[in-house]
Amino acid sequence: MQLVLRDLDHHTTRTVKDVVNLSEFIGLHGYVVDRLRIGANFQLTERLWPEPPPGGRIQRLAVLPQIGWNFYDPFFTALVFGFAPRTDGKVHLNLSLQAVLGVSLPISKRVRLSVAGEVPWTFYDRHLVGFTALTGIAIRL
């Protein structure tokens, strides 16, 4: 969930008191060496509040290739590239880079719970920077 977003072009700030969007991610990642992983996620973001215009509930669709590093167990970091052909509830291309820092705790031998903070920077076609809180479950196949 994005907590704050600063529009550097229009000099405005949006927080969760203004808009609440919830993002779901599904992805596949693999370790190329012991602590270094590459992978990609698919992102679907839905508007929860305020009520969107008809046809605008799906706010963002994106593909997110990334590289991650488990630098000190249980801590990790990742660099994510975002390619979003749908943004702000309409067909509108957006490109971004995101820096992630988090912790991944084992629940069982093959399942981990992750909590992270992310700083997304959108560089095309607008200039935005924000802070997003992430949580998730990872299952090793």
How is residue 4 written in tokens?
A: 């704050």
Whole-number Å distance between alpha carbons of 124 and 94: 5
How is residue 22 written in tokens?
A: 């919830």
List of residues 6+ apart from 83 with CB closer than 8 A: 62, 63, 64, 65, 95
| Max CA separation in the chain (angstroms) | 48
pLDDT for position 56: 84
Residues 78-124: tens digit of each pLDDT:
999 999 999 989 999 999 999 999 999 999 999 999 999 999 999 99
Average pLDDT over residues 123-132: 96
**What's the first-to-final CA gap in the chain, in angstroms?**
27
Residues 11-39: tens digit of each pLDDT:
999 999 999 999 999 999 999 999 999 99
107-132 as b/e, with b when 16 or more CB fall inside 10 Å?
A: eeeeebebebebebebeeeeebebeb
> Does 54 score more than 90 pLDDT?
no
Q: What is the DSSP letter of 123?
A: E
pLDDT for position 43: 98
Give me the CATH topology for the region 2-139: Porin (2.40.160)
Confidence class for position 137, pLDDT limits 50, 70, 90: very high
List of residues 6+ apart from 103 with CB closer than 8 A: 74, 75, 76, 114, 115, 116
**What are the extents of the domains in the chain?**
2-139
List of residues 6+ apart from 56 with CB closer than 8 A: 47, 89, 90
